[in-house]
Chain A
Amino acid sequence: MTRSPVEGLLRELAPQVLGTLVRRHGSFEDCEDAVQEAVLAAAVQWPAEGVPAHPRGWLTTVASRRLVDQVRSDRARRDRESAASADVVPDEIPDTDDTLVLLFLCCHPALTEGSRIALTLRAVGGLTTAEIARAFLVPESTMAVRISRAKRLIKEAGGKFSVPEPAERLPAVLHVLYLIFNEGYTAVDRTDLAREAIRLTRAVHAQLPADGEVTGLLALMLLTHARRAARTTPAGDLVPLDEQDRTLWDHALIDEGMTLVKAALAGPALGPYLVQASIAATHSDAATAGETDWAQVHALYLILERIAPNPMVTLNRAIALAEIRGPEAGLALLTTLDADNRLARHHRLLSVRAHLLEKAGDGAAAHDHYRRAAKATASLAEQRYLLARAARCAPACRPSAAT
């Protein structure tokens, strides 16, 4: 999905205008509504009448009027199209970048993750409610309610537009950006959330270039995004990493991601995002799947297991272990996960076990596990992939049926 120049400009300017307004008038809740209205007005007017000479000033002026309207009466939507024309103040380049302050506010602990994501995309990402609703496949009215409620909860919790200690809420902000990226991972014809997540993470990185986790997250996104063209077939079927056409990878993104990883690894701290980026970088380094340095991948998963223990990490380590010590070693590691309630019903455990059983030559068991994994997933693309894998090991399972 391509983004028009006007859309790109609006997304860039919206948080700047919001920051200016909040500093001038105080109420984040009202200012955010006003900026959204100004963005909607611009989205209608600019493509038709041309981008004004001072786009930031235009938005600030229109949003300020909306704010006054709102304060004066509740009929803020009145005169939407007639507002902007004369006495637009010239662009004042803000001397501070408000991206971080806004992100911290949108990722307020009073909100659920879903609400943090929605509010972040609107207030910092400059997306319209309709675009966010489309990205998450919910009605616009549902999304509008969710965003208003999020802002009310922040207000009630005493959330303020001020500079909090970055160290304190930074992990929550990074997690929200990570979730936005993941949401956009496979979506092709929806609002491009992966690209928005990268754009926002770049903005955070520009503010905190020395933070290893910010750098790590940006690198992880870039290295993952680089494989986008190879990850699905034109029909929308998933292509696993070892079968991807690596010439389709975006090497400019990979180079950028690798440079970031190297720079961050020279720093003092080693956090989970940086380790994940290093794993992605190890895969990117291999010209073919066969050349993958699995010993390094395994070592990195061991580190990740230690600094951020999680059954999913162990699951991934089992795949790496199977590559260096054989499928039986991987399967043995998987048995340590069987007692974990978080994973017991999860399709990933079933599909990884299926994959290792297939490698071990146990076609019948692999077939059975692929089919169970297919039942357990809620993703259609993944289900198609797992059923295809199941079918591939079916002959081994029923030798009499094979000719």
Chain B
Amino acid sequence: MKFVIGMHINPAVLEALTEQEQAAIGEGHGALLAELKESGELIMTQALADPSQSAVVSVRDGRTVVTDGPFVEAKEYLGGFYLVDCENRERALAIAAKVPDAAIPGLAVEVRQVMFYDGALEA
């Protein structure tokens, strides 16, 4: 079963972390990545640039309008995700618990099952 494990980041929370804590996040992701590669469960992972850099595109009457994002004004934004193919929902929840963000108050990790899938499988 395929799941997207999304990291909802809060830039303010991240900035308030000590350097050590930030380094621990990096190491935690490294360890998780190694585990998922070894187990054959990882399809891909992507980290996204800061939400302040996003653009919102809309087309009205055939005209494209681009404004500075983000689209939803919120404290938390999608910071990145893991796309995994694992045994079942329980295993997906267990993987999510290993995402270092899950252990930081103010950040959250969300597990969503994939419903449709297409694209280059040899990415």
Residues of A with Cβ closer than 8 Å to B?
A: 112-115, 133-134, 136-147, 149, 378-380, 383
Contacts and interface: CB of A to CB of B under 8 A. Distances in A.
B3 to A, nearest CB: 10
A142 B43 contact: yes
A295 B43 CA distance: 48
Interface of B: 1-2, 37-43, 85-87, 113-117, 121-123
B46 to A, nearest CB: 14
Contact of A149 (B1, B40, B85, B123): B40
Contact of B115 (A115, A133, A141, A378): A378
Contacts of A113: 87
A146 B122 contact: no
Contact of A136 (B38, B85, B113, B116): B85
Contact of A145 (B1, B38, B122): B38
Given A139-B43, A142-B41, A378-B113, 8 more contacts: A114-B87, A133-B121, A134-B121, A137-B121, A140-B121, A142-B43, A146-B39, A383-B115
Given A114-B87, A138-B85, A380-B116, A149 B39 contact: yes
B42 A142 contact: yes
Interface of B is mostly: loop
A191 to B, nearest CB: 13
A140 B113 contact: no
Contacts of B85: 136, 138, 142
Contacts of A149: 38-40
Contacts of A137: 2, 117, 121
19 contacts: A115-B40, A134-B121, A136-B85, A137-B117, A138-B121, A139-B43, A139-B123, A141-B122, A142-B41, A142-B42, A142-B85, A145-B37, A145-B38, A146-B39, A146-B40, A147-B40, A378-B1, A379-B115, A380-B116
A146 B85 CA distance: 11
A344 B1 CA distance: 20
